Structure 1
Amino acid sequence: MKFWIKKIIGFILCFLLIAALLSWIVMSLWNCVLVAVLGVSVISFWQAAGILLLSKILFGGFHKSGHWGRKREWREKWAEKMKNMSPEEREKIKQEWRNRCNMWGKKES
């Protein structure tokens, strides 16, 4: 079998394994916690998979770029802003962020 076919099959198997594991976790948590606390019905594995998919659609969405694309866009936007600032303005912004980070216990390097 060709290398790229093995990679595709491996990717599909990993995806299915992760989906099954997440569905099992949702089912277990639902059946252990919500049944006892709220008195809701026990759910099956497939119902848990459906809840997982529904929550992804409702709360996560299916963005083309995903999380990493938004992070890249944010970084590019700030790089553009920094490029248009004078050296004094850039240093002032950097110092502001250093002060904010120091507030959370990080050491200034």
Structure 2
Amino acid sequence: MNRNFRFRKRFIFIPILAIAFVFLVSFLVMLLWNYTLPSIFGFTTITLWQAMGLFLLCKLLFGFGKGPKRGGPPWKRRYMDKDLSELTEAEKEKFQQYIDQERCSWGKPTFRSDENRPNQMNHEQ
């Protein structure tokens, strides 16, 4: 009997908390919008219902929080258990090549040590 009562309590309490959370966040969105955007960009003020719609639209467009909980990008997950200072030189080189080729391929050269850098002296002529 006690277990059934707790289930009913959760069934009522959790939806009320969810609705209160949506209203609270919508109220904060409305306050922030009405405080900043009309004075900076000249937008009109919005109501609570418009703020709620804006909040829900942003959640639909940008997701519901599936980001860092899954461990982040795959290259970070592979090396998460190791400290990068504990890697061997071969592992560091392999990791640097992977980052250069797969993640940061903007076509600019990367320098791994000071001896490979071009001379930074001032040439006065």
**Category of TM-score, reference length = shorter chain:** 0.5 to 0.7
> Could you tell me how far 1:3 is from its partner in structure 2?
1.2
Q: Counterpart of 1:43?
A: 46
1:70 alignment partner AA: R
Structure 2 CA distance for partners of 1:5 and 1:68, relative to 1, 3 Å = farther
Which structure has the highest helix share of the two? 1
Normalised to the residue count of structure 2, the TM-score between the two structures is 0.53
Structure 2 CA distance for partners of 1:2 and 1:39, relative to 1, 3 Å = same
Higher gyration radius (CA): 2
Normalised to the residue count of structure 1, the TM-score between the two structures is 0.59
Match of 2:85 among 96, 99, 108: 96
Separation in structure 1 between the aligned mates of residue 12 and residue 71 of structure 2, nearest angstrom: 30
Q: Counterpart of 1:70?
A: 70
Larger RCO (CA within 8 A; separation ≥ 6) = 1
> Could you tell me how far 1:9 is from its partner in structure 2?
1.2
Q: Secondary structure at 1:10's aligned position in 2?
A: helix
Separation in structure 2 between the aligned mates of residue 6 and residue 68 of structure 1, nearest angstrom: 32
What whole-Å deviation, never above 9, does each CA across 1:48-107 have from its counterpart, x for those lacking one? 000000111111x247xx3475139x6xx649xx7xxxxxxxxxx43626xxxxxxxxxx
The gaps in structure 2 that reach 5 residues or longer are 87-125
Question: RMSD of aligned C-alpha atoms?
Answer: 3.0
The gaps in structure 1 that reach 5 residues or longer are 83-92, 98-109
Identical counterparts, % of pairs: 30
User: Paired residues, what number?
Assistant: 81
Q: Counterpart of 1:101?
A: none
Structure 1 stretches of 4+ moved >6 Å:
none
